[in-house]
Structure 1
Amino acid sequence: MRERALESSGRHSAVRRRHCVVTPLMAALCLGLAACASVDAPPGPVGEAPVAAAPRTTGGAPVSPERKRLIDAFGGEYYARSTESYLDGVLAKLAPASGASAQPYRAALLNSPVVNAFALPSGDIFVTRGLLALAEDTSEIAAVMAHEIAHITARHASQRAEFEKTAALFTRVKVQVLGQQQAADEAEARSRLSIARFSRQQEFEADQIGIKDIANAGFDPYAAARFLAALGEWSALRASISGAGTADRPDMMATHPSTPERIAQAVAEARQFGAPGVGSKGRDAYLAAIDGLAFGDDPSQGVVRGTRFIHPKLGFAFEAPEGFTLENQTSALIGVGQAGGEALRLDSVAIADSTPVASAIASGWIDGLKTTSVEPMQIGGLEAATAVAQGEQWSFRLGAVRLNGRIYRLIFAARSLSPAVDAEFRASLQSFHLINAQDSALAAAQAIKIVAAGSTDTSETMAGRMAFLPHPLDQFLILNGLARDVPLVAGQHYKIVAE
């Protein structure tokens, strides 16, 4: 959640729906909303040791709208000079191999825990800190960046734009000139399918080009397949932990689908350059470059700790019902109950000082509100209100709390709002409070730490040092590219997450 609200008005439209979670369960929390709001904290330096550099400049040139939108959507830039310099060194090796040595590729880090990477025609290769945490060695990060460079050199963006433009023109001709609406609808459906196939083919082509380029640059060509496999495991684990589906800042599983077929093709491409073991991996150098990198949620944007959500910057915290799993997204905090039959959403909108909270909660920001259920109240000394709303398939307990010129809106959804379920929802609403010393301690930043395994260390003992994370053993194994029951090597370095 962020500090600055996304302003919108009127009933929830198809355009606004992109700011909401759209999984079947969470859709219940969005379909009735008049506006999907968010809270936005300004991007800035976060983390520990690596975060000591000043922002990069663009040489006085204006920042492009595309670049700004991308940076804003992924938490702002993350400043880590030594890590950026290391990645620039990798790019310097890749550029000649890609046949575009004149292109001044530069690495830029994004302050997001999701796993993703992008390339702009300007030569900027954007990598999230979530991706850096997942990559196991230099060859894997080289494979990711080579893949993104391949999209530029193969002109995939312009090819797709031209394809979509042609398809749209064909549809308009069908409707406006020939008056064939049904044929136009069918053509549009075929066009969407063709674009999906076109994009999928582009991914395979970028894989093929990228693998060739990293091999020519001296890196392990099998790194691409390894990273794709890790990405699939990580995405599956995150989905299992959150239980809430895809976030509104999708990871690479959404934009770069990792299928068994794609991994198999990556392996087949790598075999053209030799058997496994060919090329440099650069594991130790890479681990040194990401030591101290921030991990997980940025405290300035709110953090999830079990069933507790804490926002140090905005100065509040609250506790979700027992068994809920929370996920902090760009537009809102969302949560899903253990059985999958309950959900919650927290966002915020600006409120005038003259507007009572009870009036605000009854102002129509969710459909089906029972006006007779509106109940003014105090929560932790703050002006608040609660009410009940009824949809076709879902029942809602609503809460609104005034804090620092904003109204924080809590929406709890259940198939049936039984007295027991409603009591849990009301208790969670009542837990909303101004942040205290215990909250601040719990919201401490987390970071990647590189440690050497001792002679008695196992994956279980290493994971034990990450016990504050959900599924710590699974996270340790995936972050380090390890299989279960494979012994650690004494003296070898591994990634753990430290507070």
Structure 2
Amino acid sequence: MHGGGRRRLARLGTLAALAGLLAACAADQTGSVLTPAVITVPEQAPKTTGRTRSDEADHAKLVASFGGEYRAPAAHRLITEITDRLVRASDRPEESYAVTLLDSPVVNAFALPSGRLYVTRGLLALAGDSSEVAAVLAHEIAHVTLRHATARSEMALRSQLVSRVVADVLNDPVTGAQLESQSKFTLARFSREQELEADTNGVRVLAQAGYDPFGAGRFLDALQRTMALKAGNGSAAEPDMLATHPATAERIALVTRAARRIGAPGLGADDRARYLAAIDGLAYGDNPGEGLVRGRRFLHPGLSIAFEVPDAFAIENTRNAVLGTTPEGSRRLLFDQVEASGDRSLEDVLRATWNDAIEAGSVENRIVGGRSVATALSRGKDWTFRLAAIRMGETTYRMIMAAKGATDPEPAFRRWLESLRPIEPEETASLKPAHLRIVTAAPGDTVEGLARRMSVPDRAVDRFLVLNSLQRGAVVKPGLSYKLVVE
């Protein structure tokens, strides 16, 4: 959950609305917030020598919307080398791209016709070798080389992308509206056929560049398994590369067939050892400045708040909210920040942000931990909700817990509410961001043993397997390198 900017008051309805919010938040967005997924811009704008001031401004806004630029010299050098190699093997070898790494855990990459290519650190963390990263980049570059949009579309829609990023992601609607009026730039969503065409073309270029063409299928499989892990936590996935692409199973089948037409598994390089060395130490997961999940605890140094969710809840930090669920999905929770003036009553905040009826006589105004709190009960058709609005300093937060059926979740909700507190300075100092550590397996090492060394909130074995492109039942091979998530 970001510390900068506050969400506007939004009215929520029944569980369907709450579930929609949960899905939207887990997808890194709420409401009309721009989905920063697979941003590929119309291709046919003529290139110029040198970038214009407008290009640089657009670049800065896009980078800001993804958390800023991520500095990792070794990884940047390798991704630049991979990109150059792919371009030389493409149908437009005269082109060139400037690579920018983005400080976002979201798995994503996109290419712009202005000659810029963006890769998130989340994608680098998931990929298992150079051929997998190259497969993603080849796909994105293919959208440009295949001329998947017209020059007129690019010119007419150019400002819309930037304005939406500014207005919705950066919470600057005034500047966003001004930029939109300039009518310059926008996001192009490619049709299903164009996505599949880019997949096929990407595999061909991947092989022509000397990389393992089966890397495309491996990466898509890892992406699909990552989404399944998030779904297993009860929250919708971030709007990663799946958001505007055809079904992943279909894409895996297509790229695997395309690779087999080129040759049998084993051809081309995957450059695994060099790739892993380049991403050793890469930041993993949430940026501490935007809040961290540590087991059942959530800590946000920037907002100076912390809380602990009840037993059985697994929580996930997203761009606009903290989401939680129990394994069976019968209880859910949401914590977010709302925009409300200090003179607005907390009861009014609750009613303004909730569409369903609040049970008569259920609103309570009290002091919890020295802070003003308003709580209420709401009963939907299939779910029962506990709501709270809390004022800490000049900031107002909202806590929502839902329980399936008619059971009031008040006992668990009360424990959660009472756990909300200011974060202590020593806690802030002790928080260490997670990062990747590349280790060499020793004789006797096992999947379970290495997974126990991971600093992850849950399902360590599953996360280790996905990160290292291993299937259930796989064995660790002495002498090979593996990714661990550590603090």
Query: 1:38·1:347 contact (CA, 8 Å) conserved in 2?
Result: no
Partner of residue 256, structure 2: 267
Question: Is residue 2:196 matched to residue 1:207?
Answer: no
SS of structure 2 residue aligned to 1:156: coil
Which digits, 9 at most, give the CA deviation of each residue in 1:468-496, with x for residues without a partner? Answer: 44111111112111233333232221111
Tell me how far apart the structure 2 counterparts of residues 348 and 160 of structure 1 sit (CA, whole Å): 40
Per the alignment, residue 93 of structure 1 pairs with 85
1:389, distance to aligned residue in structure 2 (A): 2.9
SS in 1 for 2:265: coil
SS at match of 2:200: helix
Alignment pair present for 1:74 and 2:66: yes
1:211–1:159: structure 2 CA closer, same or farther, 3 Å change rule? farther
Secondary structure of the corresponding residue to residue 252 of structure 1: coil
Q: Report the equivalent of 2:139.
A: 147
Change (3 A) 1:225 1:361: closer
For the residues of structure 2 that align with 1:253 and 1:445, how far apart are their CA atoms?
Answer: 27
* Counterpart contact for 1:2–1:38, Cα < 8 Å: no
Q: Is the 8 A contact 2:285 2:434 kept in 1?
A: yes
1:474 aligns with 2:467: no
Structure-2 residue corresponding to 1:192: none
- Does residue 331 of the first structure (1) align with residue 320 of the second (2)? yes
Does residue 475 of structure 2 align to residue 491 of structure 1? Answer: no
C-alpha distance in 1 between matches for 2:133 and 2:425? 39
1:278 aligned onto 2:270? no
CA-to-aligned-CA distance 1:247-302 (integer Å, 9 cap, x gap): 4xx01222334533322221222233322111111111111111111111111111
User: Are the aligned partners of 1:325 and 1:335 in contact in 2 as well (CA < 8 Å)?
Assistant: yes
Cross-structure match for 2:234: 243
2:306 is aligned with 1:313 = no
Return the letter of the residue paired with 1:463. A
Query: C-alpha distance in 2, partners of 1:22/1:359?
Result: 21
| Contact preservation (8 Å) 2:325, 2:333 | yes
**In structure 2, how many angstroms separate the alpha carbons of the residues matched to 1:288 and 1:416?**
51
What code does the residue aligned with 1:482 have? L
Among candidates 118, 122, 126, match of residue 126 of structure 1: 118
**Contact residue 106 and residue 123 of structure 2 kept, 8 A:** yes
- 2:370 maps to 381
Q: 2:346 aligns with which of 313, 334, 357?
A: 357
What is the aligned counterpart of 1:428 among 416, 422, 425?
416
1:113 and 2:102 matched: no
How far apart are residue 87 of structure 1 and its match?
0.7
SS in 2 for 1:346: strand
Is 1:218 aligned to 2:210, yes or no? yes
In the other structure, the counterpart of 2:437 is: 449
- 8 Å contact kept, 1:351–1:407: yes
In 1, Cα distance between equivalents of 2:198 and 2:4: 37
Provide closer, same or farther for how the CA distance between residues 469 and 307 of structure 1 changes in structure 2, counting only shifts above 3 A: closer
Query: Hey, what does 1:44 align to over in structure 2?
Result: none
Relative to the length of structure 1, the TM-score reads 0.78
Relative to structure 1, the CA distance from residue 430 to residue 10 in structure 2 (aligned partners, 3 Å threshold; closer, same or farther) is closer
Code of the aligned partner of 1:4: G
Measured in 2, the distance between the counterparts of 1:408 and 1:123 equals 42
Structure 1 residue identity aligned to 2:274: A
1:26 aligns with 2:55: no
Unaligned runs of 5+ in 2: 34-49, 158-188
Change in Cα spacing, 1:109 to 1:434, as seen in structure 2 (3 Å) is: same
Quote the offset at 1:430 in angstroms: 1.1
Please state whether the residue corresponding to 2:242 is helix, strand or coil.
helix
Note if contact 2:306-2:420 (Cα within 8 Å) is conserved in structure 1.
yes
107, 130, 135: which one aligns with 2:127: 135
- Contact 1:3–1:38 (8 Å) recurs in 2: no
In structure 2, relative to structure 1, the CA distance for the partners of 1:485 and 1:415 (3 Å cut) is closer
- 1:68: Cα distance to partner? 5.5
In the superposition, the TM-score normalised over structure 2's length comes to 0.80
Residues 25, 341 of structure 1: 8 Å contact kept? no
**Structure 2 CA distance for aligned equivalents of residues 90 and 106 of structure 1:** 12
Contact 2:212 2:267 in 1 (8 A): yes
The count of aligned residue pairs is: 436
- Percent of pairs with identical residues: 43
In structure 1, runs of 5+ residues without a counterpart are 40-57, 166-196
Cα 1:439–1:395 change in 2 (3 A) is: farther
CA pair 272-465 structure 1, distance change in 2 beyond 3 A? same
1:371 is displaced (CA, Å) by 6.3
Contact 1:147 1:206 in 2 (8 A): yes
Letter in 1 for 2:398: R
Alignment CA distance shift 1:70-1:316 (3 Å): same
Q: Structure 1 residues 140, 451: closer, same or farther in 2, change over 3 A?
A: same
Report if the CA contact (8 A) 2:110-2:140 is conserved: yes
Query: What SS class does the counterpart of residue 395 from structure 1 fall into?
Result: strand
Distance 1:136 1:266 in 2: 17
State the SS of the aligned residue for 1:444. Answer: coil
Instruction: Judge conservation of contact 2:9–2:338 (CA < 8 Å) in 1.
Output: no
CA distance in 2 between counterparts of 1:97 and 1:82 reads 23
